[in-house]
Amino acid sequence: MAADGTFPLSASRRDILKTGVGAGGGLMLGFALAGKGAAQAATAKLNTYVSIAPDGAVSIMAKNPEVGQGIKTSLPMIIAEELDVDWEQVKSVQAPSDPALYGRQFAGGSAATPLHWDELRRVGGAGRAMLVAAAAQGWGVPAADCTTASGVVHHKASGRKATYGSLAAKAATLPAPDLKTLTLKDPKDYKIIGRSIAQVDTPAIVTGKPLFGIDVVVPGMLYATFEKAPVFGAKVASADLEAAKAVKGVRHAFVVEGGTSLDGLLPGVAVVADSWWAARKGRDKLNIKWAEHPTSGQSSRGFAAKAVELSKAAPLRTERNDGDVDGALKGAVKTVEAAYAYPFLSHANLEPQNCTAQFKDGKFEIWAPTQNPQPGRELVAKTLGVKNEDVYIHMVRCGGGFGRRLMNDYMVEAAWIAKQVGAPVKLIWTREDDMRHDFYRPAGWHFLQGGVDAKGDIVGWKDHFVSLGENGQFGRSAGMAAHEFPARFVPNYRYDLSLMPCGVPTGPLRAPGSNAIAFVVQSFIDELAHAAGADPVAFRLKLLGDKCLVGVVGRDAYDAGRMAGVLKLVAEKSGWGRKLPKGSGLGVGFHFSHLGYFAEVVEVKVAGDGAVELVKVWVGADVGRQIINPFGALNQIEGSVLDGISEALTQQVTIENGAAVQSNFNDYPLIRISAAPPIETHFVKSDNSPTGLGEPALPPVIPALCNAIFAATGKRIRQLPIDAAILGTA
Partner 1 sequence: MAFKLNVNGKAHSADVDGDTPLLWVLRDTLGILGPKYGCGIGQCGACTVHVDGTPVRSCSLPVEGVGAAKVVTIEGIGADPVGKKVQAAWSALDVAQCGYCQPGQIMSATALIKGKAKPDDADIDAAMSGNICRCATYTRIRAAIKQASGQKAQA
Taking CA 443 as the corner, what is the angle to CA 440 and CA 448, rounded to the nearest 5 degrees? 155
Q: Which range in 11-19, 178-186, 398-406, 481-489 contacts partner 1 by CB under 8 A?
A: 398-406
Q: What is the DSSP letter of 66?
A: P
d(CA 414, CA 121): 38
Nearer to partner 1, 80 or 107 (CB): 107
Residue 87 interacts with partner 1 (CB under 8 A)? Answer: no
Whole-angstrom CA distances from 626 to 94, 600, 693 are 25, 20, 12
Nearer to partner 1, 630 or 728 (CB): 630
Residue 246 interacts with partner 1 (CB under 8 A)? Answer: no
Q: Which range in 209-217, 300-308, 570-578, 590-598 contacts partner 1 by CB under 8 A?
A: 209-217
Q: Least distance to partner 1 from the beta carbon of 276, Å?
A: 6
Q: Are 586 and 580 in contact (CB under 8 A)?
A: yes
> Which among 642, 635, 648, 621 has a CA at the least distance from the CA of 694?
635
Residue 215 interacts with partner 1 (CB under 8 A)? Answer: yes
**Positions in 551-590 near partner 1 (CB under 8 A):** none
Residue 74 interacts with partner 1 (CB under 8 A)? Answer: no
Sheet holding 44-45, edge to edge: 44-45, 50-52, 58-62, 90-94
d(CA 267, CA 257): 5
Residue 357 backbone dihedrals phi, psi, to 5 degrees: -140, 150
Nearer to partner 1, 213 or 444 (CB): 213
Q: Least distance to partner 1 from the beta carbon of 278, Å?
A: 8
Residue 10 backbone dihedrals phi, psi, to 5 degrees: -60, -45
Nearer to partner 1, 38 or 673 (CB): 673
Nearer to partner 1, 193 or 642 (CB): 642
Residue 317 interacts with partner 1 (CB under 8 A)? Answer: no
Nearer to partner 1, 202 or 238 (CB): 202
> Which among 486, 451, 452, 465 has a CA at the least distance from the CA of 703?
486
Query: Can you tell me which of 46, 518, 606, 679 binds partner 1, judged by CB under 8 A?
Result: 679
Residue 67 interacts with partner 1 (CB under 8 A)? Answer: yes
Helices of type H across 450-584: 514-531, 536-544, 560-574
Query: Can you tell me which of 324, 631, 721, 728 binds partner 1, judged by CB under 8 A?
Result: 631
Query: Can you tell me which of 137, 311, 584, 635 binds partner 1, judged by CB under 8 A?
Result: 635
The contact pattern for partner 1, residues 345-374, with x = CB under 8 A and - = no contact, is ---xxxxx----------------------
Nearer to partner 1, 394 or 547 (CB): 394
- How many residues bind partner 1 (CB under 8 A)? The answer is 63
Contacts of 558 (CB under 8 A, 6+ apart): 483, 485, 488, 549, 550, 551, 592
**Positions in 409-428 near partner 1 (CB under 8 A):** 428
Whole-angstrom CA distances from 122 to 130, 157, 191, 453, 623 are 12, 27, 16, 53, 21
Q: Are 569 and 537 in contact (CB under 8 A)?
A: no
- DSSP bridge pairs for 591: 598
Q: Which range in 293-301, 312-320, 392-400, 572-580 contacts partner 1 by CB under 8 A?
A: 392-400
Residue 635: other Cβ atoms inside 10 A: 16
Q: Least distance to partner 1 from the beta carbon of 399, Å?
A: 3
Q: What is the DSSP letter of 332?
A: -
Q: Least distance to partner 1 from the beta carbon of 441, Å?
A: 15
The CA-to-CA distance between both ends of the chain, in Å, stands at: 49
Q: Least distance to partner 1 from the beta carbon of 650, Å?
A: 12
Q: Least distance to partner 1 from the beta carbon of 78, Å?
A: 18
Query: Can you tell me which of 2, 182, 557, 670 binds partner 1, judged by CB under 8 A?
Result: 670
Nearer to partner 1, 215 or 622 (CB): 215
> Around 291, how many Cα atoms within 13 Å sit in the side-chain half-sphere?
10
Helices of type H across 140-232: 164-171, 202-206
Q: Which range in 337-345, 394-402, 409-417, 567-575 contacts partner 1 by CB under 8 A?
A: 394-402
H helix or E strand, kind and range, residue 72: helix 71-83
Nearer to partner 1, 185 or 195 (CB): 195
Q: Are 145 and 136 in contact (CB under 8 A)?
A: yes
Could you give the maximum distance between any two Cα atoms of the chain, in Å?
87
Q: Which range in 4-12, 61-69, 410-418, 494-502 contacts partner 1 by CB under 8 A?
A: 61-69
Strand, helix or coil for residue 246:
coil
Nearer to partner 1, 20 or 399 (CB): 399
Residue 374: other Cβ atoms inside 10 A: 18
Query: Can you tell me which of 35, 187, 203, 422 binds partner 1, judged by CB under 8 A?
Result: 203
- DSSP bridge pairs for 397: 212
Q: Least distance to partner 1 from the beta carbon of 586, Å?
A: 20
Query: Can you tell me which of 21, 41, 100, 205 binds partner 1, judged by CB under 8 A?
Result: 205
Residue 533 interacts with partner 1 (CB under 8 A)? Answer: no
Residue 299: other Cβ atoms inside 10 A: 16
Q: Least distance to partner 1 from the beta carbon of 279, Å?
A: 10
Q: Which range in 168-176, 214-222, 255-263, 567-575 contacts partner 1 by CB under 8 A?
A: 214-222
Q: Are strands 317-322 and 152-155 parallel, antiparallel or unpaired?
A: unpaired
Residue 35: other Cβ atoms inside 10 A: 12
Report CA 494 to chain centroid distance, whole Å. Answer: 30
Q: Which range in 26-34, 159-167, 207-215, 527-535 contacts partner 1 by CB under 8 A?
A: 207-215
Taking CA 81 as the corner, what is the angle to CA 80 and CA 87, rounded to the nearest 5 degrees? 55
Q: Which range in 23-31, 400-408, 498-506, 701-709 contacts partner 1 by CB under 8 A?
A: 400-408
Residue 70 interacts with partner 1 (CB under 8 A)? Answer: yes
Q: Are 551 and 488 in contact (CB under 8 A)?
A: yes
**Positions in 429-488 near partner 1 (CB under 8 A):** 430-431
Query: Can you tell me which of 49, 106, 164, 223 binds partner 1, judged by CB under 8 A?
Result: 223
Residue 132 backbone dihedrals phi, psi, to 5 degrees: -65, -45
Query: Can you tell me which of 23, 44, 134, 211 binds partner 1, judged by CB under 8 A?
Result: 211
Nearer to partner 1, 489 or 631 (CB): 631
Residue 277: other Cβ atoms inside 10 A: 12
**Positions in 637-666 near partner 1 (CB under 8 A):** 638-639, 641-643, 646, 664-666
d(CA 603, CA 592): 21
Query: Can you tell me which of 94, 353, 383, 636 binds partner 1, judged by CB under 8 A?
Result: 636
Nearer to partner 1, 201 or 365 (CB): 201
Residue 199 interacts with partner 1 (CB under 8 A)? Answer: yes
Q: Least distance to partner 1 from the beta carbon of 289, Å?
A: 25
d(CA 311, CA 308): 5
Residue 41 one-letter amino acid? A
Nearer to partner 1, 196 or 473 (CB): 196
Strand, helix or coil for residue 635:
helix
Q: Least distance to partner 1 from the beta carbon of 362, Å?
A: 29
Contacts of 38 (CB under 8 A, 6+ apart): none
> Which among 690, 696, 695 has a CA at the least distance from the CA of 75?
690
**Positions in 265-304 near partner 1 (CB under 8 A):** 275-278, 281
- Binding interface with partner 1 (CB under 8 A): 67-70, 196, 198-199, 201-203, 205-212, 214-215, 217, 223, 248, 275-278, 281, 348-352, 397-402, 428, 430-431, 631-632, 635-636, 638-639, 641-643, 646, 664-666, 670-674, 676, 678-679
